[in-house]
Structure 1
Amino acid sequence: MGDRPNILCIVSEDCPPRLGAYGDTLAHTPNLDRLASDGVVYETANCTSPVCAPSRFAILTGRYAESCPRAQHMQALAHLPNEFLTYPAEMRKAGYYCTNNAKTHYNCDVDPAEIWDESSRSAHWRNRPDDKPFLAVFNCMTTHESCTFKEQPGTVRPEDVTLPSYLPDTPGMRQSLARQYNAIARMDAELGQHLADLEADGLADDTIVFYFSDHGSALPRSKRYLYDEGLRVPLIIRVPPRWRHLMPHVAGTHVSAPVSLVDLFPSFLVIAGLDSPQGLHGTPLLGPQAVPRQYVFGGRDRMGERYDLSRTVRSEQYRHIRNYMPHRMLGQYVAFEWLGVHYQDYEAVHLGGMLNPAQEQFWRQKPAEEFYDLQCDPDATVNLIDDAAYENLIDEHRAALDEHMLAIRDTGFIPEHSPVETWEASRNETLYPLPEIMDLALAAAARNGKNAPTLLSRLSHPSPVMRHWAAKGLLMLSSSGQSLSEGLAAAYAKEPAPQVRIPLAEALGHAGDARHWVSEITRILRTEPDPRIKLQALDALTWLPPFPDISLADVRALHDDEDTYLRQSSDYLAQRLDGTYRPTNTIFDCSKLDAEGQMGKQKAGTTRQ
């Protein structure tokens, strides 16, 4: 091995910091608690996206998924540009034996067989050549969201748990949270076995151990959402005495400064004695270059079959969220989420009018901006965005978020499957003038009628992304009951891009003559071959109340489509149209679940499940 330590990464799925090491007295996690007592606990560790595939992209590449067109969506198949590196490939170049057991799910077209020495259920450091340092990843699926869909044996009962204040106290909520606690206890035992194997092999003194989760909890407003419950993850690093000079903190320390999972790649390079290449977005957690961060960042884009676009910045005490699509409520129906009785219960009590204002917020349109003091309000239920006492802090977080988005060249504003949704096109300032687009998207999200002339004028911009956000802004005005300028129908008639015509038609449908514009969107749904353009058309139809004259036959025609998200979106809309929808209906095709209760791969044009 020479003078380089091994690296062991033990990873749990969908697991918030509900561990004894983080002060949770209900959790039974003796192995991870012991690891924490010998290591360093990061109290404000965040993933970059609150769902697995984009988060794993960032871990793998050391770059935010939003910087690579299409990788930010759940799920998609982005093309990995030549400029993007992966940490196992770089560590192998440095002489490390790199194994992955066994999840990949990287949201891009990288071939796991090319970047790992072995990626399989049998991959193990024990298969390495003699005297070669290793980097071994073991991924535990036990705590995945699907653990809440079925009984989990254990000692935690529904009556034992404490629900966050933003969720209603229902039997389903309690049952799901108790199931996750019991799954966490099982996960701790499974990961503890890897630590025991390390000891048994006599390698503990030469191995740096990382424990983390890919994102947060499975409960509502957690996974897929930009609050701490979705983005805050456990992160524990244990550095043995021989290598303690690499760790800037004393063993047993709890670090409050924020860190990000995008920091893992450069941290691995430091351990191997390598310099970080240009282009990585993270900063090392170990070595002489480890300096405290002031901010970490995250994003929410399409989640399953539902479109959204939000960005967030988190400091040690505060979280700022910017919602670029505030006209859509947070609690959009996602078929996989609704397999959980917790979501079914939540919608049922919402429909029954039994929620308090904090709990009801999930079912309302979003504010354009949110700001929370998490020291005073750990559940993030009091939005301080208009509080003058926080004005300077809010401006600082806004500026940090803007600077970050420009620095990584955030491609999330590009409508899905647009011709601009390529690495080369997204670098073209004519096609993708990012500063202008960010300004326009902010103006759109403000839903201020004074911006209508600017929005209308941008419908003639040469960039289809600018025209898309102009149309989105007019839609946000129209759906909030504000009048539209003359000339919108003429702009629709000459617009070539369906990603612009769809929001324009929806805007016009809200403004009047809904029958005609529903017919236009339905024509796009029927004639466009691209599954993501069809999905955008279905999305528009879903939000045109009260479904005037939508063709049930055209919606139902997608019931057997090979694209999972089209099937789910069409089945939901069909049930809303024919009056059969109930929160307890199962729309997700459970035959698509694998033996571990996760979504298997789908054959769906240019996406995969």
Structure 2
Amino acid sequence: MKLNRRQAITAIGAASVTSACATARSMPMSRERPNILWIVSEDNNPFIGAYGDPLAHTPNIDAMARGGILYRNVYSNAPVCAPSRFCLLTGINPESAAPANHMRAEARLPDFIRTYPEYLRALGYYCTNNSKTDYNCKIEPDAIWDESSRDAHYRNRPEGAPFMAVFNTEITHESRLFGVTEGKVSPEDVRVPPYLPDSPEVRRDFASYYNLMEKMDLFVGDRLRELEEAGLAEDTIVFYYSDNGGCMPRSKRYCYEEGQRVAMVVHVPEKWRHLAPVPAGSEIAAPVSFIDFVPTLLSLVGEQQPREMPGKAFLGQNIADPKVYAFGMRNRMDERYDFIRTVTDGRYRYIRNYMPHRPWGQVVGFEWMLRSYQDWHARYLAGELTPVQSRFFEPKPYEEFYDLAADPDEIDNLAGNPGSGSGVLNAMRKALDEHMLAINDNGFIPEGSLLEGYVESRQPGAYPLAQVMALAARAAGGTADEVDALAAELSSDNEVIRYWAATGLLIRGEGAAPFAGAMQAALEAESSPQVRVVLAEGLIHVGRAEAGVTELARLLADSSAEMVRLQALNALTYVADPSTAMPAVEALVDDPGYLGRAASYLARVQDGTFDPHVSLMPPWREPGSQ
């Protein structure tokens, strides 16, 4: 069999992963190791009885919690699956290896970064995945798993081999809310958070979500019974967790609790109880993040984590001290660009919006398939919402800060008036800055730049992150009197510096008008198409609309890079009169991917036919593919 690049990764000691796996299986195990089973559900918050939800019907997960460990504050690294699954697979933050920080991208893994199945297979584990991958990087599942398919199962392992098995269910996936799921919970039973309209559509989606959770719980019970019937329960450590936060409006894709907080219950049988930090039936409140999962797997099998992994093991032989913070992020989600970083300690959440000129609620075709989103947006357009409910569709503040105990719905932003929480706010600001520097956060690099990548962004002088972060903070959160300093950076030799200087001028809108000439000259000299997009949009807001729209139309029609075209479409979406660019926009309406969705929305808005209730998705697209 011909080996691809991933199969040929060199293991420590010069043996390849493939040969290491074969060698380990041909030799007797030096010591016994536990089997490990991951049961993974999609797109759900802890709408679970064990977490105190009175409407939930989740008896299997509840029973697992009573005999196991319930982790109360567990967070995905991103509020959507693909970047989160990159983190779960590699133990590396997706924003450390752009474009893995974007939804549906193909990051390049350097050869020294190995995935957890590779580590475990080298120790003799039989590793199976059933069956979702969505790893957001250029990796072939068949190269890292013994089997990755809908038929993959630990029962297929060689006799005597320990196993690591993943079973993923899509029962609670966002797409399952495109219809109605009847069950024990009715629309009149649910609580509607104040940031959403209390409408029949919103109530139906909440009720369906609860009823899907009940069905998902049955899947968990089936996997547990299957393990018991195979006589393997006492040899197997079982994790149940969800792959990102929920999928109700303002959940998936958004950096709030409901977008990032997930459920996790771990059952450690008596035989392996020494690998758990607390007795059965306990709860742990200290934050846990997906970045901690691979170090925990390695700790469970007695291996040290590589130094490039920043996470902390929470089970096993190398349990670390409890974490203080869990960090989260968002960059492009589907066809829409945003840039958000966040940190929580389980009591407070701090959010930093590096693109405050964009609203939270940018129309995303797949997301808007939910009737609750459709209803929410339609009521906004009709002027029927309260100020708290309308906020989602309006520009963002640079900073948000919430007391989750007093305000679990995260609607009272204390960033401007934190009161007694000011010390926590300042500590979280500092912690977030330190974290971003420590992981070499690639999020400031525009998508498609040659600077993206774990290795590329670390080349000397390529990506001066501390300087970039200081500039981006001035660009997104600074004052009007800094506009001259931003304009001066348009002549920098570094593409990322120029990008954030241009972004700062764009954010200031008409306030950047005195520098319209400098912006025009910078556009004419600019070699980076990503920077050209931002400069062109900025020109439109400083009295040079014709030049700006013409350039965006050119980039849209002429660029061979899909991401540059998508960035141009996003810019045109926020232009008052993009009419001269509309032929180039309309040429993309039938594109089956992100370009088509963004182009369709813009075209419908411009011709007056946009209706939130009418899908932007191609009719042939499978509903469960996000």
Q: TM-score range by the shorter chain?
A: over 0.9
CA–CA distance in structure 1, aligned partners of residues 32 and 521 of structure 2: 70
User: Deviations 1:390-430 (Å, cap 9, x if unpaired)?
Assistant: 22211100111011111110001110111212333311242
Partner of 1:164: 193
Unpaired segments of 5 or more residues in structure 1? 601-609
After TM superposition, list the pairs within 5 Å mapping 1:481-520 onto structure 2.
484=515, 486-520=517-551
Tell whether 2:483 aligns with 1:460.
Answer: no
CA–CA distance in structure 1, aligned partners of residues 511 and 291 of structure 2: 38
Aligned residues of 1:301 and 1:307 also touching (Cα < 8 A)? yes
1:538 aligned partner, one-letter code:
L
Partner of 2:65: 36
Q: Which residue, 112, 137, 145 being the options, matches 1:116?
A: 145
Partner of 1:395: 426
What is the number of equivalent residue pairs in this alignment? 595
Tell whether 2:306 aligns with 1:277.
Answer: yes
Tell whether 2:473 aligns with 1:442.
Answer: yes
Q: Which residue, 332, 336, 345 being the options, matches 1:306?
A: 336
CA–CA distance in structure 2, aligned partners of residues 499 and 431 of structure 1: 16
Distance 1:426 1:166, change over 3 A: same
Tell whether 2:381 aligns with 1:324.
Answer: no
User: Deviations 1:420-469 (Å, cap 9, x if unpaired)?
Assistant: 12333311242211000011110000251111121111111111011001
CA–CA distance in structure 1, aligned partners of residues 250 and 511 of structure 2: 24
Partner of 2:13: none
Partner of 2:19: none
1:522, distance to aligned residue in structure 2 (A):
0.8
Partner of 2:20: none
CA–CA distance in structure 1, aligned partners of residues 575 and 258 of structure 2: 31
- Partner of 2:446: helix, strand, or coil? coil
Tell whether 2:437 aligns with 1:411.
Answer: no
2:534 aligned partner, one-letter code:
P
Partner of 1:605: none
Tell whether 2:274 aligns with 1:245.
Answer: yes
1:281, distance to aligned residue in structure 2 (A):
1.9
Tell whether 2:125 aligns with 1:99.
Answer: no
CA–CA distance in structure 2, aligned partners of residues 106 and 258 of structure 1: 24
1:270, distance to aligned residue in structure 2 (A):
1.2
CA–CA distance in structure 2, aligned partners of residues 88 and 470 of structure 1: 42
CA–CA distance in structure 1, aligned partners of residues 290 and 130 of structure 2: 19
Aligned residues of 1:447 and 1:476 also touching (Cα < 8 A)? no
Partner of 1:52: 81
Tell whether 2:318 aligns with 1:292.
Answer: no
- Partner of 2:455: helix, strand, or coil? helix
Q: Which residue, 278, 292, 302 being the options, matches 1:263?
A: 292
1:384, distance to aligned residue in structure 2 (A):
0.7
2:368 aligned partner, one-letter code:
W
Distance 1:573 1:4, change over 3 A: same
Tell whether 2:382 aligns with 1:352.
Answer: yes
Decide which moves more: 380-389 or 575-584: 380-389
2:602 aligned partner, one-letter code:
L
CA–CA distance in structure 1, aligned partners of residues 405 and 236 of structure 2: 35
CA–CA distance in structure 2, aligned partners of residues 325 and 429 of structure 1: 27
Decide which moves more: 320-329 or 447-456: 447-456
TM-score, normalization: structure 2?
A: 0.93
Tell whether 2:447 aligns with 1:421.
Answer: no
- Partner of 1:233: helix, strand, or coil? strand
Distance 1:39 1:314, change over 3 A: same
1:550, distance to aligned residue in structure 2 (A):
3.4
Partner of 2:370: 340
CA–CA distance in structure 2, aligned partners of residues 270 and 455 of structure 1: 47
1:548, distance to aligned residue in structure 2 (A):
4.5
2:277 aligned partner, one-letter code:
P
1:185 aligned partner, one-letter code:
E
Aligned residues of 2:110 and 2:455 also touching (Cα < 8 A)? no
Aligned residues of 1:140 and 1:191 also touching (Cα < 8 A)? no
Partner of 1:131: 160
1:516, distance to aligned residue in structure 2 (A):
2.9
Distance 1:552 1:486, change over 3 A: closer
Aligned residues of 1:68 and 1:78 also touching (Cα < 8 A)? yes
After TM superposition, list the pairs within 5 Å mapping 1:525-544 onto structure 2.
525-544=556-575
1:541 aligned partner, one-letter code:
L
Unpaired segments of 5 or more residues in structure 2? 1-28
CA–CA distance in structure 2, aligned partners of residues 480 and 34 of structure 1: 59
User: Deviations 1:1-25 (Å, cap 9, x if unpaired)?
Assistant: 8521110100000011000110111
User: Deviations 1:151-189 (Å, cap 9, x if unpaired)?
Assistant: 223221111111122111111111111111111111110
Decide which moves more: 274-283 or 99-108: 274-283
Aligned residues of 2:34 and 2:235 also touching (Cα < 8 A)? yes
Distance 1:436 1:481, change over 3 A: closer
Aligned residues of 1:301 and 1:310 also touching (Cα < 8 A)? yes
1:479, distance to aligned residue in structure 2 (A):
5.9
| Percent identity of equivalent pairs | 48
CA–CA distance in structure 2, aligned partners of residues 569 and 432 of structure 1: 30
CA–CA distance in structure 2, aligned partners of residues 276 and 430 of structure 1: 29
- Partner of 1:599: helix, strand, or coil? coil
CA–CA distance in structure 2, aligned partners of residues 513 and 489 of structure 1: 9
CA–CA distance in structure 1, aligned partners of residues 312 and 176 of structure 2: 33
Aligned residues of 2:359 and 2:396 also touching (Cα < 8 A)? yes
2:209 aligned partner, one-letter code:
Q
Partner of 1:521: 552
User: Deviations 1:534-586 (Å, cap 9, x if unpaired)?
Assistant: 111111111012x2533322111012335x01111111111111111011111
CA–CA distance in structure 1, aligned partners of residues 511 and 83 of structure 2: 32
- Partner of 2:36: helix, strand, or coil? strand
Tell whether 2:252 aligns with 1:223.
Answer: yes
User: Deviations 1:22-57 (Å, cap 9, x if unpaired)?
Assistant: 011111111110100011111110000000000000
Partner of 2:9: none
CA–CA distance in structure 2, aligned partners of residues 68 and 576 of structure 1: 36
CA–CA distance in structure 2, aligned partners of residues 343 and 153 of structure 1: 20
2:71 aligned partner, one-letter code:
Y
Aligned residues of 1:478 and 1:484 also touching (Cα < 8 A)? no
- Partner of 1:423: helix, strand, or coil? coil
User: Deviations 1:498-540 (Å, cap 9, x if unpaired)?
Assistant: 1111111111101113133211211111111111111111111
CA–CA distance in structure 2, aligned partners of residues 548 and 152 of structure 1: 42
1:142, distance to aligned residue in structure 2 (A):
0.3
CA–CA distance in structure 1, aligned partners of residues 513 and 225 of structure 2: 64
